Amino acid sequence: MRRLLFSLLMFCVLPAWADGHDQLYKVAGWPEQRAHFNDALAAAQKRYESSLPPAVFQALVNNSNQRFSPNAVDQRAQAQLRKNLVDPKPALAFFQSPLGKKIVAAELLATRRDQLAKNAKGLPKMQASDSRLLIIGHLAQALPAREAGAEV
């Protein structure tokens, strides 16, 4: 009976021991994002199979599979999260809020295989108000898009 009570108590306390960074990683949808990325990577590998010599193609596949293996990606992402985010509680609170959940759902929808195929030739044109265009212009000047593109 004592063991049962102890086990029940431990089961109830385990969520309190959960790491905030791990929770944030999951709540923000990053495991699903990684799975979507791996789907896109596999599709890209298939596209190159017929256009590259077999040895080059196999080297490309081996290198990309090693670099982008799910465990390696998760470990690198979580290490950077721990390194650069001292307190995950505010971010965790945001991603658990209705707006955060809505954003995560939109990101996950946008990176699904069917959505990527649908928008492969570019995103549909959208009309934006003058104030929104002004904000976009300010952001375009403020954000280092060229550096971010080079990084990607």
pLDDT band at 20, cuts 50/70/90? confident
State pTM to two decimals.
Answer: 0.65
Q: Is the pLDDT of residue 16 over 50?
A: no
Q: Is the pLDDT of residue 54 over 70?
A: yes
Give percent of the chain above pLDDT 70.
82
Burial class (CB in 10 A: 0-12, 13-18, 19+), 121: exposed
**Number of Cβ within a 10 Å radius of residue 30:** 19
pLDDT at 2: 52
What sign for the dihedral angle of Cα 118, 54, 73, 152?
Answer: negative
Average pLDDT of span 23-34: 92
Mean pLDDT of the chain: 83
